[in-house]
Amino acid sequence: MKKTRCIMVQGTMSGAGKSLLCAALCRIFHQDGLRCAPFKSQNMALNSYVTRDGLEMGRAQVVQAMAAGVEPDVRMNPILLKPCSDVGSQVIVNGEVRGQMPARDYFRYKKQLVPEILAAYHSLAEENDVIVIEGAGSPAEINLKADDIVNMGLARLVDAPVLLAGDIDRGGVFAQLYGTVALLESEERARVKGLIINKFRGDVEILRPGLAPLEEKTGVPVIGVVPYVRTEIDDEDSLAPSLGRTEAHKPLDAAVIRMPRISNFTDFSPLEQHPLLGVRYVSGPQTLGRPDVVILPGTKSTLDDLVWLRENGLEAAILKLAAAGVPVMGICGGYQMLGRTLSDPEGTEGGVPGAVVRGLGLLPVDTVFCAQKTRTRVEAQALAGPFAGARLEGYEIHMGKTQVDGEPFCRLEDGRAEGCAAGNVYGTYLHGLFDTGEATARLADLLCKTKGIDPAGAAPLSHRAFQEREFDRLAEAVRAALDMDAIYRMMEG
């Protein structure tokens, strides 16, 4: 039986652009008529997704799957670590919560997960022509090499050729690439078949005199200089550059509260794509000002982030805006915060068991946290005020049950009421509620009416249609920059 081809993209550091390079390769192979699937053995991210079968996986491989034209599958990301503190994470294996672990305990435990990683990989390989594998961080983190399951350790297990990407936008790309190769063992160096200089701005001819010496010193060819591609494709990292924005440059101003443990911030990508909506992320009352709408996003630590909101003065500022008629929305953890009380009888949130915390009191709801995690994909129709009639698609992923005494925000396809609305305040558990474009358009129309702006001609694309266009743009740029013939030869072994 013919061995399924694979290619692995590793980086000189976190943020070198591995995720987008993998997405581009997935799109290119899809365009070339191949059945392709992404794979990353271990992801660390708060930005997660629920598959159609109710399992949880990292967002990066979801985006790569969409680029490949296939349904996201939890096998593409068998291990997901969701940080819940500075020293510990919730460990999710094959889409199910395995438990909370301090970093030291997980480091010892992860060797036991190798059979499950390989089972997921080989199962995908049986169904596809090509597997595009993403590494994590850098393979030169020599303190972590002993039990590596995501970089060279995984490459060895699945016999993958490796492309090593360096980020020229951060500077020192030649040192990045040479230093990384130099720190590898001889067997690991032999796996590196090509170097990529990523995020280049300017004239590549100016860079060319350095390429031959780099190839000579590393013994590895440079197979491409990829330009800095400005694309609006979801980023898995909760420290994504978009979160650094503090100013809106469009007529409508949407302020998203940047919680310390913000999760699923890609919920707001469709808002950013709207021609009239400026989205900015704020972390203090001094930068909040008077936006046209305030949004409280999801968070991995709802109670801790609620205390943070209270102590830094944002709670008081949000209450004042809500009283003045400014729309306030809460999603998942943000929705829970808008309620009257949040109770944690079992210490699920990591605090003192039995704790009861006062919410913002803007919605007539009460939340009780529990160990059981809700994970489900849903379709719904909005019922609340200006959103009424909007078709919604999304997913729930939360720990806790909320008792609602008021009007629902939407109705699920099975007839159940979901979320809550009270006046100008709205709350829902649905991540991805803006993806269809209909809720985005309703929100923009409401804000335009309030500000006397004509919304004509500003209807957004659906998020999926927009992403399809962006995938093609990204693939076009990367295909032109990389020696794809060389990559195909690498995969043939």
| Average confidence (pLDDT) over 218-231 | 92
- The whole-angstrom separation of Cα 128 and Cα 255 is 42
Assign 490 a pLDDT band (cuts: 50, 70, 90).
very high
236 pLDDT more than 60: no
| Average confidence (pLDDT) over 46-65 | 91
Same domain assignment for residues 205 and 334: no
- Whether 473 is in a domain gets the answer no
- Whether 485 is in a domain gets the answer no
| Average confidence (pLDDT) over 389-394 | 94
Question: Which is nearest to 136 in space by CA: 147, 146, 149, 123?
Answer: 149
pLDDT at position 461 is 62
Assign 414 a pLDDT band (cuts: 50, 70, 90).
very high
- The whole-angstrom separation of Cα 9 and Cα 25 is 10
- The whole-angstrom separation of Cα 467 and Cα 433 is 16
Task: Give the CATH number for residue 331.
Answer: 3.40.50.880
Assign 457 a pLDDT band (cuts: 50, 70, 90).
low
Chosen domain end from 182, 207, 233: 233
Same domain assignment for residues 12 and 35: yes
Whether 261 contacts 44, CB under 8 Å: no
Same domain assignment for residues 214 and 267: no
95 pLDDT more than 70: yes
56 pLDDT more than 70: yes
124 pLDDT more than 60: yes
Q: Domain of 44?
A: 5-233
| Catalytic residue status for 332 | yes
Q: What angle do CA 228, 234, 236 make, to 5 degrees?
A: 100
- The whole-angstrom separation of Cα 261 and Cα 308 is 10
159-163, 204-208, 261-265, 455-459: range with highest mean pLDDT: 159-163
| The two three-digit tokens of residue 319, written as one number | 């209450």
Question: Which is nearest to 274 in space by CA: 394, 25, 448, 477?
Answer: 448
Task: Give the CATH number for residue 153.
Answer: 3.40.50.300
- Of the candidates 30, 274, 398, 431, the residue annotated as catalytic is 431
> Regarding predicted confidence, which is higher, 337 or 301?
337
Same domain assignment for residues 250 and 223: no
pLDDT at position 58 is 92
| Average confidence (pLDDT) over 259-267 | 89
The mean predicted confidence, pLDDT, of the chain is 91
Contacts of 267 (CB under 8 A, 6+ apart): 297, 298, 331, 431, 432, 433, 434
Question: Which is nearest to 367 in space by CA: 326, 398, 409, 323?
Answer: 398
pLDDT at position 235 is 60
Sheet strands side by side (includes 222-227): 36-39, 130-134, 5-11, 162-167, 192-200, 222-227
- The whole-angstrom separation of Cα 335 and Cα 348 is 18
Residue type, 184: L
479 pLDDT more than 50: yes
Contacts of 465 (CB under 8 A, 6+ apart): none
Which DSSP category does 4 fall into? P
Residue type, 188: E
Same domain assignment for residues 190 and 91: yes
pLDDT at position 104 is 87
- The whole-angstrom separation of Cα 69 and Cα 55 is 19
Which DSSP category does 260 fall into? T
Q: What are 42's strand-pairing partners?
A: 79
243 pLDDT more than 80: no
> Regarding predicted confidence, which is higher, 373 or 341?
341
| Average confidence (pLDDT) over 274-302 | 93
pLDDT at position 204 is 85
- The whole-angstrom separation of Cα 484 and Cα 478 is 9
Same domain assignment for residues 304 and 227: no
- Of the candidates 332, 410, 420, 448, the residue annotated as catalytic is 332
Assign 242 a pLDDT band (cuts: 50, 70, 90).
very low
Q: How many domains does the chain have?
A: 2
pLDDT in tens, 135-181: 999 999 988 888 899 999 999 999 999 999 999 998 899 999 999 99
- The whole-angstrom separation of Cα 109 and Cα 391 is 43
239 pLDDT more than 70: no
Whether 40 contacts 58, CB under 8 Å: yes
| Catalytic residue status for 463 | no
Whether 307 contacts 335, CB under 8 Å: no
Q: What share of the chain is helix, strand, coil (3-state, %, to 5)?
A: 40, 30, 35
What are residue 362's phi and psi, to 5 degrees?
-90, -15
* CA separation, residue 221 to residues 128, 230, 435, 468, 490 (Å): 28, 26, 41, 32, 12
Same domain assignment for residues 282 and 401: yes
Same domain assignment for residues 292 and 342: yes
Same domain assignment for residues 214 and 274: no
| Average confidence (pLDDT) over 83-101 | 86
Whether 165 contacts 17, CB under 8 Å: yes
Percent of the chain whose pLDDT exceeds 70:
95
Whether 157 contacts 187, CB under 8 Å: no
Length of the chain: 493
46 pLDDT more than 90: no
Assign 232 a pLDDT band (cuts: 50, 70, 90).
confident
246 pLDDT more than 70: no
- Whether 240 is in a domain gets the answer no
Q: How many CB atoms lie within 10 A of CB 233?
A: 21
Which DSSP category does 462 fall into? P
Helix axes 211-218, 173-182, angle to 10 degrees: 10
Strands (E) across 359-436 are located at 365-382, 391-404, 410-412, 417-418, 420-422, 425-428
pLDDT at position 198 is 95
222 pLDDT more than 80: yes
- The whole-angstrom separation of Cα 56 and Cα 97 is 9
| Average confidence (pLDDT) over 316-328 | 97
Question: Which is nearest to 458 in space by CA: 295, 251, 279?
Answer: 251
- Whether 469 is in a domain gets the answer no
> Regarding predicted confidence, which is higher, 13 or 229?
13
Same domain assignment for residues 279 and 185: no
pLDDT in tens, 415-453: 999 999 999 999 999 999 999 989 999 999 999 999 888
